[in-house]
Homo-oligomer: A and B are copies of this chain.
């Protein structure tokens, strides 16, 4: 890589070469994982460029191709898999300047990738009472492009499924990493060439997303003394087609007491907690449903409560914010990302829970998958060793639960542990030199890789 020549060509762009700042912009939330922390903490890029528009993106990629500079794109760096970290150094492409909400229509919005999800929702709500169908718990800080490039689902997935489901991304505009970069528009089956590809095979410069009505969601905490009842309530509520909801989180005791500081005064250590977002017009239906669980108790609702200290957004207790809150209290905690299957989830969850008392604390998020309700588990794990973590993962798999391993930095290991030929084939066209976010696609580097052990990217910049 010839960084000096690269830089000279782009002197009029916004370039950051302050080492402290570069280091900050080379990191994401990889440190949730002690495994990733041990391997990636030292990583830093050589410089950060923040393009102001697509034309600048094209110039940057053209120059990077010419001078063999690796380019790792990032939004706000709120991912947890190290997906925005520059394994070989080089350039971090920071999208913070490309934030324009270009147009809002009934049911859809066109926006630049660097727009914060919070700002995007504010713009569409103001325009016409609309909002994104789904967002990560990092709504306030994450970008829409980062969510598409490195996320999968979140708040809203209980109704709409995940980003990968047809209809949840409408169109992506992408610049390739070639001698002369091309600008491509993807819809339909082609979207998955670049969605959730960690920026390994193209740089997203424009996004078209579907919108849903922006109601004044009622945010609710409910306690239950019995875990199986908590799961049954959450699953039953997810199945209520007439009750519009945006979030159903389930936290095993003592999560609420030990890790949710502002909730703690209102619960006992033995209380399991549900965090919910319900459309205001569905509150009567919701309370009617809730009354079928006599031991369930509403301890907070955002539209009527007497808590002296507001808890903040209920979704900021869910998804990966749960791990963050637990980590702040107990640094030994990490997590796993689990898929519990439709129809079988109750048995799978119970089987896992019985095997690791005290070591795992269950945290579930209700989702839809292919028309059915199921749960993602973002299980809190009291970490002891990598070997023990691997044993816990194997136990999940033996119980029929699928693991998306957040202690791996590659697309394949963090996903379904198989080749994504759509993404790989497109990388061959769009990034022939393999300069985009290197080290994140095993099948590019080592098509014969054996998933039994952790991938160690040979060209990773060493500490």
Contacts and interface: CB of A to CB of B under 8 A. Distances in A.
B371 A160 contact: no
A189 interface: yes
Interface stretch (A23-31, A91-99, A275-283, A313-321): A275-283
Contacts of A280: 106-107
Contact of A107 (B213, B288, B291, B372): B213
Given A106-B129, A107-B215, A213-B106, A160 B287 contact: no
A373 interface: yes
Interface string A282-312: 1011111101000000000000000000000
A357 interface: no
B372 A287 contact: no
Contact of A241 (B170, B171, B286, B371): B371
A106 B241 contact: no
Nearest to A188: B288
A243 B167 contact: yes
Interface string A196-239: 00000000000000111101100000000000000000000011
Nearest to A189: B288
A159 B280 CA distance: 19
A370 to B, nearest CB: 5
Contacts of A187: 284, 288
A103 interface: no
Contacts of A188: 284-285, 287-288, 291
A161 B241 contact: yes
A459 B174 CA distance: 74
B167 A108 contact: no
A265 interface: no
Contact of A167 (B161, B166, B213, B286): B286
A368 interface: yes
A108 to B, nearest CB: 4
A431 B370 CA distance: 47
Contacts of A238: 371
A-B pairs, top 8 by smallest CB distance, nearest first, are A239-B371, A167-B285, A167-B242, A161-B241, A107-B281, A188-B288, A165-B242, A166-B285
Interface of A: 105-108, 128-129, 133, 159-161, 165-168, 170-171, 187-189, 210-213, 215-216, 238-244, 279-282, 284-289, 291, 368-373
Given A106-B215, A170-B281, A241-B369, 13 more contacts: A105-B281, A106-B281, A160-B241, A166-B240, A166-B289, A167-B242, A167-B285, A168-B285, A171-B284, A238-B371, A239-B371, A240-B371, A241-B370
